[in-house]
A = this chain, B = another copy of it.
Amino acid sequence: MSNQLIQPRTLKGFRDFLPEMMLPREALIEVCKRVYRSYGFAPIDTPTLELFEILTGKGSEETDRQMYHFVDQGERHVGMRFDLTVPLARFVAQHSAQLGMPFKRYHIATVWRGEAPQAGRYREFMQCDFDTIGTTSLTSDIETGLVIIDLMKALGFERFEVRINNRKVLNGFLEKFGLAERATAVLRAIDKLPKVGPKAIETELSEVAKLNLEQTAAVIEMAQLAGEPQLILSQMADLISGNPLGEQGCEELRAMFAAFDELGVGKHVRIDPSIARGLDYYTGTIFETFLLDKPEIGSVCSGGRYDNLAGLFTREQLPGIGASLGLDRLLAAMEMLGMLPAAKTPAQIMIANFRNEDLAHYLRLAALLRQAGFNVEVYPDSKKLGAQFKFADRRGFQGVIVAGPDELQSQQVQLKWLADSSQTLVSIANSGENLINELNAKLNRSGTEVKM
């Protein structure tokens, strides 16, 4: 061709997912769905494009600036969703009668933000949210914690910690000590204390934020609460005693942690008085989740309780609670921790193409193995076996089946296992019974178990 080629490339801040990245991503999403569904959360989806006025209704200046928006063919000002919360609010307001309350949904979908790209941050990324709408029952707060714990375990983590706080405690505390106007400075100080120590915080609070002695002491005491839930709760109760909102927050934390203990998941949760998660949105329980072997990557699952999801769209009061799994962050951590397999194919087995005349035999054998639950690829061309084995090795197949005409004649195949370079002659008589058993043994799974 004589025409000029177009250079194939992706936009800055965007990326392709090759099979070796996509396979673990899909596996992770499947685990999320399985866990969400096991609690009765149902999937929903909303359009990528929404009216600009709907997306900006609640947004901060920052999200508005980052949003991809344009005027469409019908002269409508539209935007690409930048999170799944605004679409959820619009969705629930629009369909609440049909949905019925309480309504539990999960939504796993792509969002876009035109922010400056940096290491590990993309302009297109996936969110993985679950929420319970329409109830103020603490059952849902407890359950949200249980979902996070089940999620982390199902993903293969044992060493993680769900850190929990309650905005009622924080707000009650600010109220009691007359600090509501200086909430930002106080929350920042509480957040920084573990890193910079109480002396630096004391100076900042008294000299910059102009807190008096009693206020400064109280903030430092709050920020230093640590230890077992029972201990923190009793000190917290002393600190906010007399403030009804704070006392209610304490009581909620107490009930939640009692339930976690009764359910045997106490070791995965702790009270963290330093968590605030912004000032505006959350009104009760708040969650963050840290990998104990990778705390520096930040929270991998965060969320909390809110009083009113959809005030912009409906007068109906819609309280709820939910959390969002940081899919990309978690995948990055799993890669660093060596938890991801390196294969570029979902198939375990390749059947070599010894000669085209026997193609029907290969295809029939492949069908048999698929019925037994294996993923099997038949090499399409009758290239030299060396080239086929090289392909199989690079692609990440675990076993290669080779069957020449003599072997097929006697209903046998060679099973070459790439990990240990072993080679076995296996019968394929009786619907491949021996071969299926051999493969099950090599892949270390029982015949009934279903692969991930």
- Cβ distance A161 to chain B, nearest Cβ, rounded Å: 20
Roughly how many angstroms separate A46 CA and B10 CA in the complex, as a whole number?
Answer: 9
- Cβ distance A189 to chain B, nearest Cβ, rounded Å: 32
Closest chain B residue to A348 by CB distance? B40
- Cβ distance A288 to chain B, nearest Cβ, rounded Å: 22
Known: A73-B114, A139-B380. A46 touches B16 (CB 8 A): yes
Contact of A10 among B10, B47, B346 (CB under 8 A): B47
- Cβ distance A269 to chain B, nearest Cβ, rounded Å: 14
Contact of A142 among B8, B11, B140, B363 (CB under 8 A): B363
Known: A37-B347, A54-B8, A391-B100. A44 touches B18 (CB 8 A): yes
Q: Is the CB of A139 within 8 A of B263?
A: no
Q: Is the CB of B95 within 8 A of A68?
A: no
Q: Is the CB of A11 within 8 A of B78?
A: yes
Q: A380 — which chain B residues lie within 8 A by C-beta?
A: 102, 132, 135, 137, 139-140, 143
Interface band, chain A:
35 or more
Contact of A5 among B110, B132, B312, B345 (CB under 8 A): B312
- Cβ distance A452 to chain B, nearest Cβ, rounded Å: 11
Q: Is the CB of B364 within 8 A of A262?
A: yes
Q: Is the CB of A5 within 8 A of B313?
A: yes
Answer yes or no: A426 CB below 8 A from chain B CBs.
no
A21-61 residues with Cβ-Cβ distance < 8 A to B are 22-23, 25-26, 33, 37-51, 53-54, 57
Answer yes or no: A353 CB below 8 A from chain B CBs.
yes
Q: A11 — which chain B residues lie within 8 A by C-beta?
A: 47, 49-51, 72, 76, 78
Q: Is the CB of A8 within 8 A of B94?
A: yes
Answer yes or no: A427 CB below 8 A from chain B CBs.
no
Q: A57 — which chain B residues lie within 8 A by C-beta?
A: 6
Q: Is the CB of A74 within 8 A of B315?
A: no
Answer yes or no: A195 CB below 8 A from chain B CBs.
no
Q: A315 — which chain B residues lie within 8 A by C-beta?
A: 1, 5
Roughly how many angstroms separate A95 CA and B22 CA in the complex, as a whole number?
Answer: 15
Answer yes or no: A163 CB below 8 A from chain B CBs.
no
- Cβ distance A105 to chain B, nearest Cβ, rounded Å: 7
Q: A350 — which chain B residues lie within 8 A by C-beta?
A: 40
Closest chain B residue to A448 by CB distance? B448
Q: Is the CB of B314 within 8 A of A5?
A: yes
Q: Is the CB of A381 within 8 A of B6?
A: no
Q: A209 — which chain B residues lie within 8 A by C-beta?
A: none
Answer yes or no: A395 CB below 8 A from chain B CBs.
yes
Roughly how many angstroms separate A153 CA and B329 CA in the complex, as a whole number?
Answer: 38
Contact of A381 among B10, B135, B310, B363 (CB under 8 A): B135
Answer yes or no: A199 CB below 8 A from chain B CBs.
no
Answer yes or no: A370 CB below 8 A from chain B CBs.
yes
Answer yes or no: A342 CB below 8 A from chain B CBs.
no
Interface-located stretch among A171-179, A371-379, A398-406: A371-379
Q: A259 — which chain B residues lie within 8 A by C-beta?
A: 359-360, 363
Contact of A345 among B40, B51, B80 (CB under 8 A): B40
- Cβ distance A103 to chain B, nearest Cβ, rounded Å: 9
Q: A262 — which chain B residues lie within 8 A by C-beta?
A: 360, 364
Closest chain B residue to A390 by CB distance? B100
Q: Is the CB of A19 within 8 A of B47?
A: no
Answer yes or no: A416 CB below 8 A from chain B CBs.
no
- Cβ distance A420 to chain B, nearest Cβ, rounded Å: 22
Answer yes or no: A112 CB below 8 A from chain B CBs.
yes
Roughly how many angstroms separate A44 CA and B17 CA in the complex, as a whole number?
Answer: 5
Q: Is the CB of A9 within 8 A of B42?
A: no
Roughly how many angstroms separate A73 CA and B73 CA in the complex, as a whole number?
Answer: 19
- Cβ distance A78 to chain B, nearest Cβ, rounded Å: 6
Q: Report 5 cross-chain contacts, Cβ distance below 8 Å, ordered by A residue.
A: A6-B53, A6-B313, A10-B50, A16-B47, A48-B80
Enumerate the 10 nearest inter-chain pairs by beta-carbon distance, A residue then B residue, closest first. A40-B377, A70-B70, A19-B42, A40-B347, A14-B47, A137-B380, A37-B346, A8-B94, A139-B380, A17-B45
